[in-house]
Amino acid sequence: MSSKGKKIQKEEEEEDPLDQMIQRTGCASFHYAVMECMAEHQDWRKCQEQVQSFRSCMAEHQKQRAEEGKRRQKLHQAAS
């Protein structure tokens, strides 16, 4: 295999950073539902139910991250 072929194969094996981020949120299934709907309809307006579900999941994830950050900050302040 040429070095160009190896480079292409390596790039295909690496996961997209955006996909990795979405996987960590726990909202990947909602994201994929939006993508599937978009592929089928080619119009995001027809996918509002999926978009709203994904948005709600991401908002909940952000809320949990903020709460965790506050807890860590309080623990850090208490330890000081």
Distance CA 16, CA 8 (A): 14
55: exposed, middle or buried (C-beta count within 10 Å: 0-12, 13-18, 19+)? middle
In Å, how far are 31, 33, 50, 65 from 36, measured between CA atoms?
A: 9, 5, 10, 28
**pTM assigned to the model:** 0.72
Which has more pLDDT, 74 or 13? 74
| 66-78 confidence digits (pLDDT tens) | 999 999 888 888 8
pLDDT at 8: 53
| 14-68 confidence digits (pLDDT tens) | 778 999 999 999 999 999 999 999 999 999 899 999 999 999 999 999 999 999 9
Q: Using the 8-state DSSP alphabet, how is residue 44 labeled?
A: G
